[in-house]
Amino acid sequence: MIRREFVRLPVARWAVSVGLLVALGGCSALGHGFLAAAGPVATHERQLFLVVSAILVFVAGPVLLLTPLFAWHYRLGNADDAYRPNWNFSWWVEALIWIPPIAIVVVLAVLLWTWTHIDDPYRKLPGAAPIEVEAIALDWKWLFIYPDEGIATINQLAIPVGRPVHIRLTSATVMQSMLIPRLAGQIYAMGGMTTELNLAASRPGQY
């Protein structure tokens, strides 16, 4: 009886693991957030995210690959590993330690400085004249005012496809934030202050 339970336990764990993998296979981040960008601002943010992620993989990849290799090569039972008690300096090692990190920091600095200024929420989008919207944060809701059209909506921001939108945000209560990840980044609204957000939708949808 004990043997049968011992045999069935690994099988049950394997079945549960496979079932969880199958269930997680239906989950995808590509259909949500800025990875499923529906506007030029979110598209540019996605490009920046992918570029920075690729650079970070280039940084972390060698560490993840070489750590188990070094652990195996310099293990206690390996009698063939080199032992250099008098070694103290190598130009190749110094170059490997300093040049790649400096280059990566410089590349990241240039990319982030350039792209974050391009994605500045106060920067007007090219194209037709933007639609002006005033967004007021209230308790548990947003009030959107269209001064040129003379209308207002609650908790629904309706915009046309392909036309820039300029939003002025403030708060009539505590500090709040607006985030429409498929169109633009997050921006905060505070009482007595005004912030701005420029965005556009490239295709119809509910965001």
For residue range 111-122, list pLDDT tens digits in order.
889 998 999 999
Q: Which residues are paired to 201 by β-bridges? A: 161
Helix ranges restricted to H, the chain: 2-24, 40-73, 91-118
pLDDT band at 6 (very low <50, low <70, confident <90, very high): very low
Q: Which two tokens stand for residue 170?
A: 């403030």
Q: How does DSSP classify residue 48?
A: H
SS3 143: strand
Q: Is residue 78 part of a domain?
A: yes
| pLDDT reading at 125 higher than 90 | yes
Q: How does DSSP classify residue 201?
A: B
Nearest C-alpha neighbor of 199 from the set 44, 5, 11: 44
User: Are the C-beta atoms of 198 and 161 separated by less than 8 Å?
Assistant: no
Q: Is residue 28 part of a domain?
A: no
CATH number at residue 110: 2.60.40
Q: Structural domain of residue 93, as residue ranges?
A: 35-207
For residue range 32-81, list pLDDT tens digits in order.
788 889 999 999 999 999 998 998 888 888 889 989 988 888 787 877 77
Please tell me the predicted confidence (pLDDT) of residue 28: 62
What does the alpha-carbon distance between residue 164 and residue 169 come to, in Å, rounded to a whole number? 16
For residue range 20-32, list pLDDT tens digits in order.
776 666 666 566 7
How many folded domains does the chain comprise? 1
Q: Is residue 98 part of a domain?
A: yes
CB atoms within 10 A of CB 183: 24
Q: How far is CA 204 from CA 37, 160, 161, in A?
A: 12, 8, 6
pTM to 2 decimals?
A: 0.74
